[in-house]
Structure 1
Amino acid sequence: MAQSYGRDHLHDSVSKRSRDPSSDYNSDKRHRAASDEAQHRPAGTLSTRRQLYERNFPLYKQPVEVGFFSLDSRRNFFNDQRQLRYYVEPRKSPDFNLRDGYTSRFVKRDDGVKEKLDHVLKWILANRDKIQTRDQTSSSSCALGVDFVTWRGHLTKVLTTPYETQEGWMLAASKFRGTIYISEVETEAARANRMTRSERQEEMMYWGYKFEQYTCADDVDGTPDPGGVVNTNEAFCTVVQTRLADHKLLFSGEVDCRVKDPDAPPAPGCYVELKTSAEICTPKQRSNFHRYKLLKWWAQSFLPGVPQIVAGFRDHDGIVVSIETFQTSKISHLIKNEINCWKPTVCMNFCNDFLSFVKSVVKEDNPRLVYLFEWDPHRDVTYTVHRDSPFTFLPDWYVKDTRSQHSSHH
């Protein structure tokens, strides 16, 4: 039962809150004794204390791309690669002006519209045959043959949780025909931030997309068109399957571009993630970059197996002054020397234990039932249960279509 996610850090909320977490750095033995009774019931909370997750790196299978989809300038779904772009390597000091076009050639996606898992679900309905069911035995209890369906971005938030000090999260989970679907719910704090962004914050969000425009071509033999319109509705997304320890995962994530070389490894091994960051001028800035930004970059690209990240470093005025390429697999070596730095093993073990925690809690198979998992920095993960509530996120069209496809196969 509860052993699968480690007995040392599962306590019910009462015993957890009553202890001073700073006092039990080396109290494994006390934990064991105190938590033996927790073996026989699901724990109410999950600890996020880093020390609990410094075990061996868990098994994480090489992610396999099972499909992809495109979203056009009006956010319409296409079961194809029409939005995939090609990476064009810039000069060493490119002098790209990221401010260009912000006031005149920018169509911004409405981030107040919450699409939940809808695009991923559309992909599943169109491609159920592409999902690899390793063993036919599991597919009887679980129609899709996977344990979890979600967005890559939601898993990124889980991975970085043990090191996050600013932003909490809320993740809704529903079990339908044996598979657990996980969808994000915007927190009050995130909503407040979104509603009160400064003009500079808004413009700097544009800068990341503008950098993509300078470094991506629409065709394999094309060149970038920095004079065009930046439309953040457009997206190309990969869909990958992988396994983290005992958890079979199917998730989708946006991909910026691929390398042009036709002999490059198959996707996701040919994909490139594009980033911008403030230029690094002081040791303190370098340390912060390693400790905070590289953690997010690593988690985001490691999950879907994207091998390289191209970063444009920009000055205060939005001019890209240098370019650096990071191999995702080498990022953890780069940061080894930082004191108190993040560890990939902690991130992955926490994610593994979180998914085990979710499995232990989400027992009722019902698309109208939502288990809401909440986390705030320096707290445990907790959950609440909501039946037929506004948190329900699996749409009727998905539930109906899945059920009718199922009955026609029997």
Structure 2
Amino acid sequence: MEPRGTKRKAEKTEVAELWNKLPRSVSSLRTEPALYSGPFPFYRRPSELGCFSLDAQRQYHGDARALRYYSPPPVNGPGPDFDLRDGYPDRYKPRDEEVKERLDHLLRWVLEHRHQLEGHKLLKWWAQSFLPGVPHVVAGFRNPEGFVCSLKTFPTMEMFESVRNDRDGWNPSVCMNFCAAFLSFAQNTVVQDDPRLVHLFSWEPGGPVTVSVHRDAPYAFLPTWYVEAMSQDLPPLSITPSPKD
């Protein structure tokens, strides 16, 4: 005997497969030029994040070592005069059309230079350095094998410039305004002076900051010796006599 619901489940599967095989109309986009004669849309010009290059053997390099640059002739000088056929059969190496490179080189560069695409990592460095007044951050970048292959120094006050033109980047004003609001919220929330009382602030993406109150372990983090030492009265400060006295 089949268990209850098995036949109904099989019928639903058959209906779903039949639905997937049926031809369905998809939405379309009209292409008449008259529909697009309005003002020029907003467009943010892309900025260069880095480069990669291919050598004569089409071997990948994650930097500009194999790039060749065009040097324009002088404006007032004679025009270029060279034979495009010179050396073509001897030095020109045609690309192997059987090898489909597609986006492999670009995707490899993205994978190797993820640190340049992660603007939020700069946010973490900036927050950890700006508040205590650290002027510079030295970052080591590793390759996919885990070896540090380059170092770069980031001035703390200039980190935001790296993501200023990124529409999804972070804004230091927003960060500091939120920091001030959170500290004010914490000051107004924690009103009881009790070393055994712990206020746990929590945040989940998309939601507000919440607070819960706990007592003792496992949230308490101040050691007993520290609490006892801070609870004692401070000895009076010795007054150094002035040379005039």
- What TM-score, normalized by structure 2, do the two folds share? 0.47
Structure having the higher Rg:
2
| Greater fraction strand | 1
Q: Which has the higher contact order (CA 8 A, sep 6+)?
A: 1
